[in-house]
Structure 1
Amino acid sequence: MPYDEELADRIRALLDEHDPVEKKMFGGVGFMVGGKMAIAASSRGGALVRVDPSESDHLCELEGVERMEMRGRPMDGWLHVAPGRLDSDRDMQEWIDRGIAAAAAAS
């Protein structure tokens, strides 16, 4: 399934001031800020968001948020956020801000 281009356009618009670099990957499109992946429009629908790993458990308690898995293994510090949690620009901006902060903190 291809990624949601409308979602990718919304991410682009909200990330614009951060000079993101786009990278196609895993059937979706990722957005790098400061050379680190921050958020991606997922081929599963919704977004993949980089987060502080210490916040993952708490954030996964939210409906529509789950740990990203790759080949059956959970990816620490990455969450899949369902489309319904990204309906408003305010909601989307919150996830983008989390992704930017986690990318900036990544070594």
Structure 2
Amino acid sequence: MAYDSDLADRVRDLVPAGTTEKQMFGALAFMVNGNMACAVGADDLLVRTGKTAYETAIAAGAGPMTMGTRTMSGYVNVSADLLGGDALADWVGWAVAMAESLPPK
């Protein structure tokens, strides 16, 4: 599965300088200080929320992040239809802030 290159370009414009990219599980992950902030999939954005903001992100329209049958707490999937206008900047900003709050790797 390939990632959405147009969405990846939009995310690149929003992440801080020094952010690295890494292909993972068919997606393109954006790493801030060595911690994954978000990842672009084929038709969605994986956002790292942390466990404390998970429910708030779900209430804002995101879906749970699942790998197989396991739900990954602290991460949500945001569908492409929720990423128009300034919404992408809000989701990426949230993910970057979460990654920056963690110790560098």
Select 1:56's aligned residue among 40, 47, 54: 54
Q: What is the CA-CA distance between 1:67 and the residue it aligns to?
A: 1.2
Question: Which residues of structure 1 form unaligned runs of 5+?
Answer: none
Paired residue secondary structure (1:40): strand
Q: Normalized against structure 2, the TM-score is what?
A: 0.89
Deviations 1:16-72 (A, max 9, x none): x332100001111000011110011013x1100001311111221233x11101121
RMSD over aligned CA atoms reads: 1.3
Q: Which residue of 2 is the match for residue 34 of structure 1?
A: 33
Q: Which residue of 1 is the match for residue 10 of structure 2?
A: 10
Paired residue secondary structure (2:13): helix
Q: What is the CA-CA distance between 1:102 and the residue it aligns to?
A: 1.1
Q: Would you say the 8 A contact 1:18–1:33 is kept in 2? A: no
4+ runs deviating over 3 angstroms: none
1:68 aligns with 2:65: yes
Seq. identity, %: 33
Question: Which residues of structure 2 form unaligned runs of 5+?
Answer: none
Higher helix content, 1 or 2: 1
Q: Would you say the 8 A contact 2:35–2:99 is kept in 1? A: yes
Write the distance in 2 (CA, Å) between the matches of 1:50 and 1:60: 12
Write the distance in 1 (CA, Å) between the matches of 2:64 and 2:82: 15
Q: Would you say the 8 A contact 2:49–2:57 is kept in 1? A: no
Write the distance in 2 (CA, Å) between the matches of 1:62 and 1:37: 21
Q: Would you say the 8 A contact 1:49–1:95 is kept in 2? A: yes
Q: Would you say the 8 A contact 1:39–1:48 is kept in 2? A: yes
